[in-house]
């Protein structure tokens, strides 16, 4: 039987984030802004905590995230996943109008 860390992608990512800590994980080329693995880890936990606190979504709910390419998408994905909430993404550029 696989261990939990092998089973859930978000836990694998967060475990790696702890390991790589202050290494840069993602860079926005247009602004020069970046997030370290530690930033992603901490911001994901913070978002997860807020979502859990307000309880307006429950595990197995699905959230559509309409967002241009953004360095915060991993934070959103992981923060929701920690609460069992699924995230699907869409680009605002993929529709007419």
pLDDT of residue 15: 82
> Residue 83, CB half-sphere, CA atoms under 13 Å: how many?
26
Q: Which CATH class is domain 4-94?
A: alpha beta
- What's the mean per-residue pLDDT of the chain? 88
Q: What's the pLDDT tens digit per position in 30-51? A: 999 999 999 999 999 999 999 9
Looking only at Cα atoms, what is the longest distance across the chain?
A: 49
Q: Domain spans of the chain?
A: 4-94
Q: Where are the alpha helices (DSSP H) in 1-97?
A: 4-7, 9-20, 37-54, 73-81
Distance (Å, rounded) from C-alpha 66 to C-alpha 46?
21
């Amino acid at each position: 039987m696989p261990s939990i860390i092998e089973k859930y992608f978000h836990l694998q990512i967060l475990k790696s984030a702890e390991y790589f800590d202050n290494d840069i994980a993602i860079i926005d080329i247009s602004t020069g802004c970046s997030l370290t693995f530690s930033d992603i880890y901490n911001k994901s936990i913070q978002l997860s905590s807020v979502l859990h606190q307000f309880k307006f979504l429950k595990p197995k709910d699905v959230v559509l995230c309409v967002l241009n390419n953004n360095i915060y998408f991993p934070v959103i994905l992981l923060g929701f996943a920690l609460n069992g909430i699924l995230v699907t993404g869409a680009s605002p550029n993929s529709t007419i109008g």
